[in-house]
Chains A and B, each alone.
Chain A
Amino acid sequence: MARKKENKNKKWIVLFAALIAISIFIASAVYKIGSWQFFLPIEYIAFDINGHFQKWISRPVSWSSGLFKGIFEITQLKEENKRLREEIGRLQGEIVSYKNAGIENESYRRLLEIKKELPFPVVVANVVAGDLFPFSWVITVDKGKANGLGVDMSVLSGHGLVGRVIDASTNFSRVMLVTDKKSAVSVVSMKNRTHGILKGDGEGRLSLYYVERDRVIEREEEIITSGTDTIFPKGILVGKVVDVKLSSEDDRNNKSDIFQTITVDPVVDMKKLEEVIVQVRGRPLLDEKK
């Protein structure tokens, strides 16, 4: 009798577990399709909780690395450092814009002046975590919608372009670095004004796509954003050309002779990022829909 009851109970438990598993599976599928906005708040809450924990964990590591730099004035130094990095970022942008403006024609320069006049408030954010998947070039920063950050805002460092915001919760944001395989930036070479699409190769370098054979591009030439993708502002330094070759010369995977194969080194060391600057466009985006 007792055994019968136990078997009955077991059946109910199995049924219950199966139902939960099926509903989770369906929920996951619906979420993947993207038609159910119900899960978004839950995702953001989880993202926020994880971010706080990650910040607590990563804080002692970054603290210990900076310990010997200044024991007595560490707080002031950090503040000053943050302010200076912000300043460097702004100045870097200005320098690149000036160099760029020098080789542009008159109308181009006029457009640039208009662009420069646009006020772009920036927010300095600390990198608190990476992605669980080590091949994914995505970082988490400790600023979110409450600080005015939103999806598709460009992220810079003192040296050049870092990436763009792909997801933002109230206090944290995910940034896809330009070296990620899914990243694409519309760029132009500084000297020869050759346009192309810069994509990450997933291994830490960048490849410049869709540059025709007859276009001139040189080694060591600087690559800057062209602004035509409407995500990244024009004139931000992204990298330097390290290798130029015709597709059919060495690349057996790409037999096409239409485009060149161009490798670009990013100017920013993505593995050593600690602080980034996010260009905030417009007002805080707390009410932004994903």
Chain B
Amino acid sequence: MTQSSEGKHFFLTTAIAFVLMLMETALGRQIEWGFVRMDGVASLVVWCSLAVSFPFGLFWIFTISFIAEAFSSVTAGLYTLSFVLSYFFIQYTLSNIIISYVFQKMLLVAFTSLLTTTILLAAEGLADMIWPWAVMQAFFSGLASICFFYIFDRIFAKFSCDSNLNL
């Protein structure tokens, strides 16, 4: 991947993360079911983790985390911790398994969503809400990832002619 395309992808990812979180916070209260929302952030984290290898990918994940921290009032550093952990887990998985099927990506998104929500809930003193809400959120995030991955792929294909992403 050339440096210019790397930069372009990075800013595109940042813009997508910003828009996703903006929509989720501005409209989330109106369209959520219980505590379950249409969450695209977990899909974006997995998409980046699959697409960009270490160490650049880590920088991308840091950026997404910082945007997430700005949109939330949870204890500082929790989003960063959970996203970075997810990134390393996916990188480790990628070094052992080729992840190409849709259901594999869905499972990864569900796992990332569950990991993130569990870390945040436990740290905020709400561990008793992991079941059923975090599990349900993970399930829905996994399902929604089909749609989000399609959107991310289309956006990146449209904005980059020389894409060398790992997807």
Instruction: Tell yes or no: B164 within 8 A of A by CB.
Output: no
Contacts of B161 in A (CB 8 A): none
Q: Decide: A57 and B27 in contact? CB cutoff 8 A.
A: yes
Q: What sequence of 0s and 1s flags, for each residue 19-49 of chain A, a beta carbon within 8 Å of any chain B beta carbon?
A: 0110011001101100000000001001100
Q: Decide: B26 and A166 in contact? CB cutoff 8 A.
A: no
- Closest residue on chain A to residue B68 by CB atoms: A132
Contacts of A129 in B (CB 8 A): 25-26, 29
Q: Which of A31, A57, A133 contacts B22 (CB 8 A)?
A: A57
Contacts of A21 in B (CB 8 A): 55, 58-59, 62
Instruction: Tell yes or no: A181 within 8 A of B by CB.
Output: yes
- Closest residue on chain A to residue B133 by CB atoms: A135
A140 to B21, CA, bound (A): 14
Q: Decide: B124 and A130 in contact? CB cutoff 8 A.
A: no
- Closest residue on chain B to residue A43 by CB atoms: B70
A182 to B137, CA, bound (A): 22
B63 to chain A, nearest CB (A): 9
Q: Which of B25, B36, B56, B77 contacts A132 (CB 8 A)?
A: B25
Contacts of A139 in B (CB 8 A): 29
A129 to B45, CA, bound (A): 23
Contacts of B3 in A (CB 8 A): 13
B157 to chain A, nearest CB (A): 25
Instruction: Tell yes or no: A54 within 8 A of B by CB.
Output: yes
Instruction: Tell yes or no: A210 within 8 A of B by CB.
Output: no
Contacts of A228 in B (CB 8 A): none
A182 to B62, CA, bound (A): 27
A233 to chain B, nearest CB (A): 24
Query: Contacts A135-B35, A136-B72, A174-B73 given; 20 further ones with Cβ under 8 A?
Result: A13-B3, A14-B55, A20-B59, A43-B70, A54-B25, A57-B27, A58-B26, A61-B30, A129-B29, A131-B25, A131-B72, A132-B41, A133-B74, A134-B35, A134-B37, A134-B137, A135-B121, A136-B124, A138-B73, A182-B124
26 pairs from A and B in contact (CB 8 Å cutoff): A13-B3, A14-B55, A17-B59, A21-B55, A47-B70, A50-B25, A50-B70, A53-B22, A57-B23, A58-B27, A61-B27, A129-B25, A129-B26, A129-B29, A131-B25, A131-B71, A132-B25, A132-B71, A133-B74, A135-B133, A136-B74, A136-B124, A138-B73, A166-B73, A181-B126, A271-B29
